[in-house]
Amino acid sequence: MKMKRSKRLEPVGEMAEGEERECAARVAGIQARLDDAQRRGTELKRYLVEYQSMFQQRAAAGIGVAGLRDYQTFLARLNEAVRHQDGVVAQLEADCARARVEWLEAAARKSAVSKVIAHARTEDQKIEDRRSQKETDEHAQRRGGAR
């Protein structure tokens, strides 16, 4: 007996489902890295504000040239760290957006394949019902003709 069309399509459905799962996991992974990078960025900005405030307080109270230079160097490095972290966040936001689009596309493919499989199952059932009805009719005809 020939394999039903819906059964032949099931591996395609499983592949589409697996692809959608992988895309969803990719989104979750990037989102977790993004959340972490945003937390780090917020922390760095908070440090920057704190150190700028401390610098202003110390400068107002009087600070030596060496202390002034050290603070300026440290603040410059902290500013650079903030800029770098902002770049990391921007890149992860872009990566996350791309991954979400890929996930939505994979989900749409999975949905389309699922609809095709469901339609094939319906068609397979109709074919099976017609075959069964034909057998029943033939059996009834043979019984009627044997009398």
pLDDT tens digits along 99-134: 999 999 999 999 999 999 999 999 999 999 999 999
Q: Are 120 and 9 contacting, i.e. CB atoms less than 8 angstroms apart?
A: yes
Asked if residues 14 and 90 have their Cβ atoms less than 8 Å apart, the reply is no
- Cα–Cα distance measured from residue 121 to residue 133, given in angstroms and rounded to the nearest whole number: 18
- 59-73, 78-92, 124-138, range with the lowest pLDDT: 59-73
**Integer angstrom CA distances of residue 60 from 43, 54, 55, 71:** 26, 10, 8, 14
Dihedral angle of Cα 97, 99, 101, 104, to the nearest 10 degrees: -130
Model pLDDT for residues 17-57, shown as the tens digit of each residue: 999 999 999 999 999 999 999 999 999 999 999 999 988 88
pLDDT at 2 exceeding the cut of 80: no
Ramachandran bin of 4, using left for φ above 0, alpha for ψ from -120 to 50, beta for the remaining angles:
beta
If phi > 0 it is left, if psi is from -120 to 50 it is alpha, else beta; for residue 3 that is beta
